[in-house]
Amino acid sequence: MTALSRSVAVVGAVSAGWGLAAATGFHDAAASDAYGFLVTALLGFGLYTSTRGIDIDEFRAHLRTVLIAVTLGVAAKVALIFAVLHAVGHDVKALLLAVAVAQIDPLSVAAMRAKSRMSEQGKALLAAWASFDDPVTVLLTAYLGAALLGPDFGAGTGGAAGFALSVAGNLALAAAVCWTWRRVGDRPRGAVGNAVVAAAVLVVAFLAVRYSLMLALALIGLVVRPDVGDALDRLAGAALYLGLGAIGAVLVTGIPVGTGVVLGVAAFAAQFVVAYAVTAHRHWRRDRLRLALGQQNGLTAVILALLLEPAYPGAAATVAVAVVVVNLLHLSTNAAHDHLARPRLEADRRDRRVPATPVLEG
């Protein structure tokens, strides 16, 4: 699939979601429990699939870079995005929009991983970045939301105590599942054993989605890796477009084109600047530009925007527009990079095929 056809597919999926919401009268995603469960389930699947594809050795070797990316990197991206929004006349509340799009969407990364031309260390960094920057943006949303939108918002998110309890729940669920997997593993089982395992997977998935234990699913993906071939990669591709349709449903209340476009462009540019700074070490020379062009947004941004929507009307639709803009920029810039890099790659292949001319001594 070419970049143009993928761009058309992105716009088509978003438009389909918008059309379905308009036809069914579904105009308030923020108040819908069913919608919230759907997008959280898709996000959880993306988190698990993304970390499941990480090369563990590469992850361990570059853990320091990952930690910098998901902490200082996220904070720097928020600051850069807000600087752009503030420069074009938005008030301080726009800082919350910057937080909502500051992370990289794990479902998008999982769906595109198989097609990526990055090295394994580059894929490991991008997947880890996408999977573990969510807790940072959630924490920023809770504290900045309480400061900018009033104490009622902070109480709604649980504040510091709620965040600590959530982290504990995530770690407990991940530890229990990973310990069980180490004991049982991917061993041959009969029909009854397979049914029990399938039921256990469904229970874990339901608990994680019901109580928003997304970090647990990311951690589980680092350990629990059943051999299912490329089935999860195919499902991730389908889930990506289903998620884009869910984003389109948010736009049925109105399309704030101006702010959404500015937010999307700022988010993509912020990733370019921060990724270049984070990957300054020579280890990343090969992947540096691709990581800089790696910003993708999706369900994480929408979930945070839906959290903001009751106290910050219009946040969800603005972020939804930004998500579409970021994904189109990602597709177009990476396609341009591939096109420009192709002659050099072909020359390198020719050089490897042609044997060196022997030097004759006489």
Q: What are the tens digits of pLDDT across the range 304-338?
A: 888 888 888 889 899 999 999 999 999 999 989 88
Question: Averaging pLDDT over each range in 120-134, 195-209, 262-276, which range is the top one?
Answer: 262-276
Q: pLDDT over 70 for what percent of the chain? A: 87
pLDDT bucket at 119, cuts 50 / 70 / 90 = confident
Cα separation, 275 vs 339, whole angstroms: 22
pLDDT bucket at 157, cuts 50 / 70 / 90 = low
Residue 311 · residue 150 · CB < 8 Å: yes
Quote the tokens at residue 314.
């219009």
Cα separation, 55 vs 126, whole angstroms: 11
What is the per-residue DSSP string for 250-296? Answer: HGGG---HHHHHHHHHHHHHHHHHHHHHHT-SGGGTTTHHHHHT---
pLDDT bucket at 359, cuts 50 / 70 / 90 = very low
- The number of angstroms, rounded, from the C-alpha of 54 to the middle of its chain's C-alpha atoms is 14
Residue 264 pLDDT greater than 50, yes or no: yes
Query: Given this model, what pLDDT does residue 353 score?
Result: 55
Residue 152 pLDDT greater than 70, yes or no: no
Least confident of 34-43, 143-152, 205-214, 301-310: 143-152
pLDDT tens, position by position, 336-355: 988 887 766 555 555 555 45
Residue 162 pLDDT greater than 80, yes or no: no
- Residue 272's contacts (CB-CB under 8 Å, 6 or more residues apart) are 292, 293, 295
**Summary mean pLDDT of the chain:** 84
Query: Given this model, what pLDDT does residue 360 score?
Result: 44
pLDDT bucket at 150, cuts 50 / 70 / 90 = confident
Residue 98 pLDDT greater than 50, yes or no: yes
pLDDT bucket at 278, cuts 50 / 70 / 90 = very high
Question: Averaging pLDDT over each range in 225-239, 295-309, 343-357, which range is the top one?
Answer: 295-309
Query: Given this model, what pLDDT does residue 361 score?
Result: 45
Dihedral Cα 225, 221, 60, 281, nearest 10 deg: 120
Cα separation, 46 vs 132, whole angstroms: 12
Least confident of 77-91, 137-151, 153-167, 257-271: 153-167
Residue 121 · residue 56 · CB < 8 Å: no
Long-range contacts, stretch 87-93, CB < 8 angstroms, 24+ apart: 88/262, 90/259, 92/148, 93/148, 93/149, 93/312
Find where tokens 């009033």 sit.
Answer: 150
Residue 42 pLDDT greater than 80, yes or no: yes
pLDDT bucket at 51, cuts 50 / 70 / 90 = confident
Query: pTM here?
Result: 0.81
